[in-house]
Amino acid sequence: MKQMYIKRIERGENNELLLPVAFGDSIITIQADGKISERETPIMPLDIFVHKGVEISSYNTDYSTGTLEKKQEDQVKKTTLSGLLEAVAMDDDYVYAVGNAISDKYNALYILEKDTLKVHKEIGLGPQYGIGKEIQILDGKLLLTSPQTKSLTIVTKGTREMKQVKLPYKEPDDLLIDQDSIYVTYMLGNHITKIDRKTLQVKGSFSTGDQAVLRADMDSQNIYVLSQAQNDPQPRQDIVGRIGIYNKQTGNKVGMIELPNKRNMGVQDLIITNPSNP
């Protein structure tokens, strides 16, 4: 693949990997057998989410608005929403999208009818929310992160009640979820915080040492942390990044993989292709 600036990797429903080309007009699919395909999309794809054969994707099609697209087999439906639609999700009830930078002091969570993409509810997130990076659907709740806050935003689906779970560090970024816990990373931070999934109480944090967390993923035993060499305390020219491996229960580092610098490449994301098998 020669496309530049693929900043995220998403899982499909059939073990395929979906890669939006952020500064382009396509989404790349890598099948479980290694076959690679590419399809044309509107310009600047930002996020993609697949639920029961329905694909929801967002695009930065204009300076102040974004396009949300629903694709099911050969049928495509689109709508335009205010803001930068950096995070999208979907369940059996609705489609969800965060609109960032709608104005200087307003960001919103859009809840849309899944069949028509009409806005069912728009929930203002306030100026303190900042740029939304993540939407996770969990136990009847929507979990949102923004690097401009020091908390995890939780919206109850039924009542639309919104509350904040205070975090020990600023700039929350990625969310990793298993049967018991929610793990929160911080934008280029050096800690990962563990939250009890049932009580939503912070249980503690562990340090990633000299690794500034860019992205993370996990399997049943470990959390895998990607960092870029340029953010290391003493950057090296022979590597582009590292993958640190940390035990989920203890937070202890159990391994480190160095990523060699080849073909003037960079690293932006990582994903565990078979997370059920460590």
Q: Where are the domains of the chain?
A: 10-166
Mean pLDDT across 244-266: 92
pTM assigned to the model: 0.88
| Residue type (1 letter), 22 | A
Characterize 13-29 residue by residue with b for buried, 16 or more Cβ atoms within 10 angstroms of its Cβ, and e for exposed.
eeebbbbbbbebeebbe
Q: Is the CB of residue 143 less than 8 Å from the CB of residue 169?
A: no
| Nearest of 130, 227, 127 to residue 171 by alpha carbon | 130
Q: Which residue has the higher pLDDT, 175 or 126?
A: 175
Considering the chain, what percentage of its residues have pLDDT values greater than 90? 63
pLDDT at 200: 95
Q: Is the CB of residue 154 less than 8 Å from the CB of residue 163?
A: yes
Characterize 233-271 residue by residue with b for buried, 16 or more Cβ atoms within 10 angstroms of its Cβ, and e for exposed.
eeeeeebbbbbbbbebeebebeeeeebeeeeeeebbbbe
pLDDT at 277: 43
Q: Which residue has the higher pLDDT, 229 or 15?
A: 229
Determine the Cα angle at 260 with ends 45 and 7, to 5°. Answer: 10
| Whole-number Å distance between alpha carbons of 230 and 208 | 16
Mean pLDDT across 184-189: 95
At 58, is the pLDDT very low, low, confident or very high (cuts 50, 70, 90)? very high
DSSP-assigned states of every residue in 79-115: EEEESEEEEEEE-SSEEEEEEEEEETTEEEEEEEETT
Mean pLDDT across 116-139: 84
Give me the CATH code for the 10-166 domain, please.
2.120.10.30
pLDDT at 63: 65
- Which of 50-64, 182-196, 242-256 shows the lowest per-residue confidence on average (mean pLDDT)? 50-64
- Please state, rounded to an integer, the average pLDDT across all residues of the chain: 89
Using the predicted structure, report yes or no on whether residue 15 has a pLDDT greater than 50. Answer: yes
